[in-house]
Amino acid sequence: MSRKPNFNRDELINLARDLFWKRGWAGTSLKDLEAALKIKPGSFYAAFGSKDALFELAMDKYASDGAERLKELAHRYGPIKALQRFPEMAVGNATAPAKACMLSKTLLELHAHNHPLANKANHLLLRMEAQFADLFRQAQSAGDIDSEHVPETLARRYQSDLLGLRVSAERDGVDARAIAQEIADSLARL
């Protein structure tokens, strides 16, 4: 009879996500993962199969967490207010400072190598953009933004602004909170 693993798989995926997010795919070795997850090689392969498989799970977790935060904001405040509040969440705080988007970092790192994980990152970014478009569409239906705007175009621009914000937040001497407020203010003018 096989033994049941004595670890929480979701917790390990969260730890791996944080390590991959910080170091990237190439900068994270199997030894790094084994050390961070406190797991032996055999258990690692039994639980995840490969580094790529774990990286994909980590990206899925990253994307689903962001989508869930946005969904909660929309439920609590409505679509346009959620879109206005989301950039501030992306900036982080003193205990959890902002980091560049894991998906965009992955896309930039692996796209030139035609790595399948780059395609996965792109797919997840497009899915997030579609969620933004849906919120813009809802805001339009509610009369919160002018009907002349194309929700997909607004979503693409919004996502671009967020990605730029997250990179800027990592730079010294940049007031990321001010940039987040500028993004929010620009939505009020729609």
Q: Is the pLDDT of residue 36 over 80?
A: yes
| Average pLDDT rounded to a whole number, residues 77-91 | 94
**What residues pair up with 97 in beta bridges, in sequence order?**
92
Residues 156-180 have pLDDT tens digits of: 999 999 999 999 888 888 888 899 9
Could you tell me the fold of the domain covering 51-188?
Tetracycline Repressor; domain 2 (1.10.357)
Give how far Cα 113 sits from Cα of 54, 117, 119, Å.
19, 10, 11
| Tokens found for residue 168 | 């800027």
Residues 88-134 have pLDDT tens digits of: 988 876 566 678 899 999 999 999 999 999 999 999 999 999 999 99
- pLDDT value at position 96? 67
- pLDDT value at position 112? 92
| Tokens found for residue 151 | 């929700």
Distance of alpha carbon 98 from alpha carbon 88, whole angstroms:
10
Distance of alpha carbon 177 from alpha carbon 103, whole angstroms:
22
More confident call, 55 vs 169: 55
**What residues pair up with 92 in beta bridges, in sequence order?**
97
The secondary element (H helix, E strand) that includes residue 3 is none
